[in-house]
Amino acid sequence: MDFRSVSLPSGTFIIGKAFDFEAGHRLPGLPPGHKCSRQHGHSYQVEVILTAPALQAPGFVTDFGDLAPFKKFLDAELDHHNLHEILPFEPTSERLAQFLAGWFIQNVEPEIPGRLVAVRVCETPRSWARFEVERR
């Protein structure tokens, strides 16, 4: 087969990379009988989703290796911590996704060609929250 004959469609390139960390939390704003008002922990998975208006050589939205500062932040600041003790908000998955998007935009995005589209935070393999970045 001659692969040069394959037409490349127009569209948008989107990439994602998942990161993991372990942390505990409780949500004191919930009623005392709610299970999440008590201390518990999660094996969090965080996915960052990026896009770019054009690919950078050799054909990347962003080199996955350039996302290493985000992993370093998760490991140094959140891994094996009680999130309700260190974060300035109740650490729901929704608020954590928004916070991580803000940190990524401030600290990683200026150094890479891609732009953050969304952050997804999974507390379990079946429970997640996603924060989508609005661009002006």
Catalytic residues: 36, 80, 123
CA-to-CA separations, 11 to 8, 43, 54, 76, 115, in angstroms, rounded: 9, 35, 11, 37, 16
Measured between alpha carbons, how far is 82 from 109 in angstroms, rounded to an integer?
Answer: 27
